[in-house]
Amino acid sequence: MLPTPDSVALAVAQFAPTTDAAKNLRDMASLADTAVARGASLLVFPEYSAFFEPQIGEASLAAAEGLDGEFVRGLAALAERTGVHVVAGMLEATDDPRRFSNTLVAVDPAGAVVATYRKQHLYDAFGQRESDFVLAGSIAEPETFVVGDLTVGLQTCYDIRFPEVTRTVVDAGADVVAVPAEWVRGPLKEHHWRTLVTARAIENTVYVAAADHAPPIGAGNSMIVDPMGVELATVGDDTDVAVAWASSARIASVRDTNPALRLRRFTVVPRD
């Protein structure tokens, strides 16, 4: 869609984070400048943006820090400098010396943390064992924040395979679901990514802004999908930023055509 007075420019930034935390922040700053130049008001970075090793291990554990640590301070400085809301994934220290939280942080243009999300479904699949080093987030009321006239919610990577997570975020009022990911490449994985991101947008009649790692480890294809399942913008396999315009008017129009949320007969109940 073309920008209108009430629309918000959503951006997804795709890059390949490494074990060099300082370089990751520099790369993010460069991508943020590109996003702002393209009009972005909300910028979504991938999961594990702060620090990433292909096989999670002791180095990841050592890199975990608090929400008052260097990464969040760097993210806050980036948001203040560029004047946009920023979402990114980090490794958050916990009381368990052997496990960290896979945490998303949302920072506003004043540099304040306005929402967090701790990954609820760990990637113990496709031969991986994220739970060896990561604590699953507790089930709690989703935290949201506002950009323009849109409410934004959060979830992480593997969570996208569980439709009830997105539904819970939407039930909390989200118009946009930001999905930072490290979607590992493999047989049919890119197909899964595209299908799942699009399905979550369609069935909830919301925008989904999904940011993945660039290849060769990530599948790439960071994308922004609208409430009717239209893929508005995609990065592909490069390090780059994709921007698309979102509006509450588009959501209202889609929900007038497809009132699925209103017609549904089931709610989400947490499993013990």
Name the phi and psi angles at 192, rounded to 5: -60, -45
Residue among 65, 92, 119, 130 flagged as catalytic: 119
148: exposed, middle or buried (C-beta count within 10 Å: 0-12, 13-18, 19+)? middle
Dist CA 149 CA 81 (whole Å):
22
Name the phi and psi angles at 53, rounded to 5: -125, 140
Is-catalytic flag, 65?
no
Is-catalytic flag, 23?
no
Residues linked to residue 224 through DSSP beta bridges, in sequence order: 209, 233
Residue among 47, 65, 92, 130 flagged as catalytic: 47
Residue among 65, 92, 130, 157 flagged as catalytic: 157
Number of neighbours of residue 242 by Cβ within 10 angstroms: 25
Dist CA 217 CA 198 (whole Å):
22
Please write down the long-range contacts of 137-142, taking CB distance under 8 Å and 24 or more positions apart: 137/101, 137/102, 137/103, 139/270, 141/172, 142/117, 142/168, 142/169, 142/172, 142/174
Pairing of strands 207-211, 223-225: antiparallel
Is-catalytic flag, 141?
no
Reference 206, options 6, 10, 5; nearest CA is 10
Name the phi and psi angles at 193, rounded to 5: -55, -55
Asked whether the beta carbons of 193 and 219 are under 8 A apart, the reply is yes
Residues linked to residue 207 through DSSP beta bridges, in sequence order: 176
DSSP summary character for residue 213: B
Q: Which residues are catalytic?
A: 47, 119, 157
